[in-house]
Chains A and B, each alone.
Chain A
Amino acid sequence: MFLLKLIIRNAFRHKLRSILTVVGIAIAIIAFGLLSTLVGLWYHGVEASSASRLVTRNAISLVFPLPLSYKDRIRQVPGVKTVSYGNWFGGIYIDEKHFFANEAMEPKSFLELYPEFILTPEQKDAFLRDRKGCIVGKRLADTYGWKIGDLITLRGTIFPGQWEFVLRGIYRGAEKGTEERALFFHWDYLNETLKKTMPRRADQVGFYMIDVERPELAAEVSQAVDAIFKNSLAETLTETEKAFQLGFVAMTEAILVAIQIVSYVVIVIIMVVAANTMAMTARERIAEYATMKTLGFGGWHIAGIVFGESIVIALSGGLLGVALTFPAAQWIQVELAQFFPVFTIAPLTIALDILAALAVGVVAGIFPTWRGATIGIAEGLRRIG
C-alpha cells in the first residue's frame, strides 16, 4: 500500500507535465478508438447480411446487367425459396454531397427477402399499390424531414433524367445496425420508363437476390445457378450476400489499411512522447532511487515504483480517453449521421483502447525502469545538489 501511495503521488508530482501527458494519451486513445470504430463500420453491411441470402450478378462485373428472363430459371433451382431483383439506381438528391443509397427493386419479393425492413401494413400496401411510390429508412426521412406523401425528386446518373417518387412508407430497422439511410422504389417504374426512353436497356436487371430454404444450401444453390448460365452470353456469379458485400469493402481496402495504419501510428507517437516524459522523470529522480537503495530497497522495489508510475499515467490517460470516446462517438453519430448510420463503440474497441494505453505505459516505462533498477548507489547519490 505504501509503495502504491508513493507511485500515485510521484505520478502527479509535476502536475502540469503529468496532466499534459495524460491528456496527450487520452487524445491518442480517443483517436485510436474512433478510427477502430470507423474500420469496424466498414464491415457493418457485411455483418448485417443474412447467411441464407445469395446475390447473383454478371460474372464479368457488377456494371454489366443480366436478362430479366433469368428470374424464372433461377426460381426453378432446388433449394431456392424467393427470388427478387433490382438495379443500383445511383440517383442524386439535390447534389452529390447529399448521398444516400437508392435502388430500384421488385417490391413484393424484396420486402419478403428483407424482413428486417419494418413497415406498417398500411404503408406496405400503399407502397406496393403505387408504381411511383418509394420507401425510405427512418434516419433518412429524419435527415430531410420527409413525410408520407412527399414528392422526392432524384437526378439520374446511370439512368439519366429527373425521377419523381411519392413517399409511401418509412421503414424502421429490426436491429440497431439495419440500414436506415436508403431509398427503394419499384423496379417496374424504372423498367417502363426505360422502355420509352432507352429500350435497349429495358428488361435487364443489375442483380438477383435469392433466399435459400436453409443457409447450408447456399453453396449448392450458388453452384447450381451459375451452372445454368454457363457458356451463355451473360454468365453469372452467385455468392452469399456477405461475400457480395465484402467485394465492395475490398474495393476500398486501401483506405481501410490507411486508416488502420494511422490509428497505430497515433499510438506509437504517444508511446514516444510518454517514454520521453518517463525518461525525464526517472532522470530527475535517480538520486531518490539511490537513496531508497541505500536504505535497503532492492532493484525490484525501484523497478516497481518507476514502472508503476508509467502505468498509472498511461492508464489515467487511457481511462480518460475511453470516457471521452463515448461523447465523441455520440457527436459523430448526430452531426455526421449522413455518413455513419450507426457509430457505436464496441466493447472490443474499449478493450483495445485499454490494451493500447497499457502498451503505452509498458513501452514508456521499460528504459526508465531498467535505469532506476540498475543505477549504482554511489553514482546515483552523486546526482544530488
Chain B
Amino acid sequence: MGMGNGKPPIVEIAHLSKSYRRGSQTIPVLEDITFDIADGEFLALMGPSGSGKSTLLNLIAGIDKADEGTIRVGGVDITSLSERELAAWRAANVGFIFQFYNLMPVLTAFENVELPLLLTGLSRNERREHVELALQLVGLSDRVDHYPAQLSGGQQQRVAIARAVVSDPAILVADEPTGDLDRVSAGEILQLMDRLVREFDKTIIMVTHDPRAAEKARIIRHLEKGILTDSDGQPASPVAGS
C-alpha cells in the first residue's frame, strides 16, 4: 500500500463491515470499508449523522467489534483480540478525546490526567512527572487542583487532551472534539491537536461535523451511508492522503 505522508501505514483497514440490530431489523452502518492511515497523519472523518463515522472511529480505537473485515493497528490485528487484550491494547496505544470531555467530575485536573497511568507500572513520582508534563503541554500547569466544574469548556477539553497523551499513545481518536466549544476555544483545541501531529508525531483520527475543524486536518474523508468517499464524493482511494 502507498503512504499519504511518505510514512508506512499505522492503521490498515480491510473489507470492514458493521451493522446494528434494531428489533428484527438489521441496519448496515459500514459496508466493505478498505483504507489505510499513514503514521503521523491528521485525518478528518466527515459525514451526516448516522453515516457511520463514529462507529468507524470506535472500531479503529478498539471499543466496538466489527462484523467482518480486519483492522490492523501498528501491525496488530485488533479484530482478533479478546476484550481483556483489547483493554490493555487501548491503554497502551490509543488516546481518546470526546465531544463532552468525559472527565471524572470528582477528580481534579491532575487526577483526571493521572487516571490512565494507574494501569501502568509507574511509581507515584513517575506518574506525577508525566502528568505535570502533559498539563504543561496543554497550558494548564496552573489548574492542576481544579475540578472540571471549575474549568471552562476549552480548559476541560485541554485536560482531556492531556489525559489522552499522558501515556504517550501512537494514535489519538477524537469524536467531535470541538462540538461543544465556542469558536475561539475550538480554534485553540485544533491548534493543539495540530501541534501534537507536527511536534510529537501523533496520528490523529478526528470525527467532525464542522468544516472549519476538518480544514485543520491534512486529509478529509467522507462517509455517506456507510461508504467512504473522497471530498468530491468519489469512492475513496484505499490510501488516506493519496
Q: Identify the A interface with B (CB < 8 A).
A: 2-3, 5-6, 9-10, 13, 287-288, 291-298, 376-378, 381, 384-385
Q: Is the CB of B102 within 8 A of A291?
A: yes
Known: A2-B114, A296-B90, A296-B91. A291 touches B98 (CB 8 A): yes
* Residues of B close to A3: CB separation below 8 A: 118
Q: How far is the CA of A295 from the CA of B88 in the complex (A)?
A: 9
Candidates B102, B105, B114, B116; contact of A13 at CB < 8 Å: B105
Residues on B lying within 8 angstroms of A by beta carbon are 55, 58, 61, 63-64, 84, 87-88, 90-92, 96, 98-100, 102, 104-107, 111, 114-116, 118-119, 163
B99 touches A385 (CB 8 A): yes
Q: Which residues of the other chain, B, contact A294 by a CB distance below 8 angstroms?
A: 61, 63, 90, 96, 102
Q: Could you say which of A3, A296, A385 has the most chain B C-beta atoms within 10 Å of its C-beta?
A: A296
- CA A41 to CA B114, docked complex, whole Å: 55
- A381 near B98 with CB under 8 A, answer yes
**Main DSSP-derived SS at the B contact region:** helix
A295–B64 contact, CB under 8 A?
Answer: no
- Residues A377 and B63 in contact, CB atoms below 8 Å apart: yes
Residues of chain A within 8 A of B100, CB atoms compared: 384-385
Which residues of A have CB within 8 Å of B102? 287-288, 291, 294, 381, 384
Set A5, A13, A296: member contacting B88, Cβ < 8 A: A296
| Distance (whole angstroms) from the CB of A169 to the closest CB of chain B | 67
Can you list 22 A-B contacts with CB-CB less than 8 angstroms, sorted by A residue number?
Answer: A2-B114, A6-B104, A6-B106, A6-B107, A9-B107, A10-B106, A287-B102, A288-B104, A291-B98, A291-B102, A292-B115, A293-B63, A294-B61, A295-B119, A295-B163, A296-B87, A297-B87, A376-B64, A378-B64, A381-B63, A384-B100, A385-B99
Instruction: Give chain B residues whose Cβ lies under 8 Å from the Cβ of A287.
Output: 102
Question: For A6, what are the chain B residues with a Cβ–Cβ distance below 8 Å?
Answer: 104, 106-107
Residues of chain B within 8 A (CB-CB) of A292 are: 115
Bound together, the chains give a CA A6 to CA B105 distance in angstroms of 10
Smallest Cβ distance from B168 to chain A, in angstroms? 14
Instruction: State whether A296 and B119 are in contact (beta carbons under 8 Å apart), knowing that A6-B104, A10-B106, A13-B105 are contacts in the complex.
Output: yes
- Knowing that A288-B104, A377-B58 touch, tell me 5 more A-B residue pairs with CB under 8 angstroms: A2-B114, A2-B118, A294-B63, A377-B64, A378-B55
Q: When the two chains form their complex, are residues A378 and B63 in contact, meaning their CB atoms are under 8 A apart?
A: yes
A141 to B87, CA, bound (A): 74
Q: Which residues of B contact A296 (CB under 8 A)?
A: 87-88, 90-92, 116, 119
Query: Which residues of the partner chain A approach B92 to less than 8 Å between Cβ atoms?
Result: 296
Q: What's the Cα separation between A13 and B104 when bound, in Å?
A: 11
B105 touches A295 (CB 8 A): no
B113: min CB distance to chain A, Å: 11
- Shortest beta-carbon distance from A39 to chain B in Å: 42
CB distance from B156 to the nearest CB of A (A): 13
Docked complex Cα distance between A376 and B86 (Å): 13
B-chain residues with CB within 8 Å of residue A13 when the two chains form the complex: 105-106
Q: A377-B64, A378-B64 are in contact. Are A297 and B119 (CB under 8 A)?
A: yes
CB B115 to nearest CB in A, in angstroms, measures: 6
- Closest residue of chain B to A1, judged by CB? B124
- In Å, the complex CA distance between A381 and B61 comes to 13
Cα–Cα distance between A2 and B99 once the two chains are bound (Å): 26
Complex: A294 Cα to B55 Cα, angstroms: 14
In the assembled complex, how far is the CB of residue B179 from the closest CB belonging to chain A, in whole angstroms?
A: 9
Roughly how many angstroms separate A296 CA and B61 CA in the complex, as a whole number?
Answer: 11
* CB-based nearest A residue for B63: A377
**Which of chain B's residues has its CB closest to A384's CB?**
B100
Contact partners of B91 in chain A: CB under 8 A: 295-296
Of B87, B106, B107, B163, which one neighbours A293 at CB under 8 angstroms? B87
Is there contact, CB below 8 Å, between A298 and B114?
A: no
> If A6-B104, A378-B63 touch, does A295 touch B98 (CB 8 Å cutoff)?
no
Alpha-carbon separation in the docked complex, A377 to B102 (Å): 13
B64-A298 in contact (CB<8A)? no
A287-B114 Cα distance, complex, nearest whole Å: 19
